Amino acid sequence: MNYLAPSILSADFAALGEAVTLVEAAGAPFIHVDVMDGHFVPNITIGAPVAKSLRKHIKGVMDVHLMIENPDQYLQDFKDAGADIVTVHYEASRHIHRTLQTIRSLGMKSGLSLNPGTPVEVIECLLDEIDMVLIMSVNLGFGGQSFIPYALEKVKAVKELAKKHNKELLIQVDGGVGLHNVKEVVEAGANVVVAGSAVFGAEDVTKAVQEFIALMNE
Ligand code: DX5
Ligand code: ZN
> Residue 100 corresponds to which amino acid?
L
Query: What's the rounded Cα separation, in Å, for the pair 178 and 196?
Result: 9
Question: How far is the first Cα of the chain from the last one, in angstroms, to the nearest whole number?
Answer: 10
Query: Average pLDDT, stretch 7-33?
Result: 98
Q: Global pTM? A: 0.98
Query: What's the rounded Cα separation, in Å, for the pair 218 and 213?
Result: 9
Reduced to 3 states, what is the DSSP secondary structure of residue 80?
A: helix
Query: What's the rounded Cα separation, in Å, for the pair 103 and 86?
Result: 7
pLDDT tens string 79-100:
999 999 999 999 999 999 999 9
User: Of 8, 9, 30, 68, which is best to mutate to test ligand 1, by the most ligand atoms within 8 angstroms of its C-beta?
Assistant: 9
User: Of 4, 10, 44, which is best to mutate to test ligand 1, by the most ligand atoms within 8 angstroms of its C-beta?
Assistant: 10
DSSP type of residue 199: H
The chain-wide mean pLDDT, for the chain, equals 98
Query: Average pLDDT, stretch 160-187?
Result: 97
Residue 30 has a pLDDT of: 99
- Does residue 176's CB lie within 6 angstroms of at least one atom of ligand 1? yes
Please indicate whether residue 174 is annotated as part of the active site. yes
pLDDT tens string 172-184:
999 999 999 999 9
Q: Of 37, 63, 131, 174, which one is the catalytic site residue?
A: 174
Please indicate whether residue 131 is annotated as part of the active site. no
Tell which atom from ligand 1 comes closest to the C-alpha of 10: 9
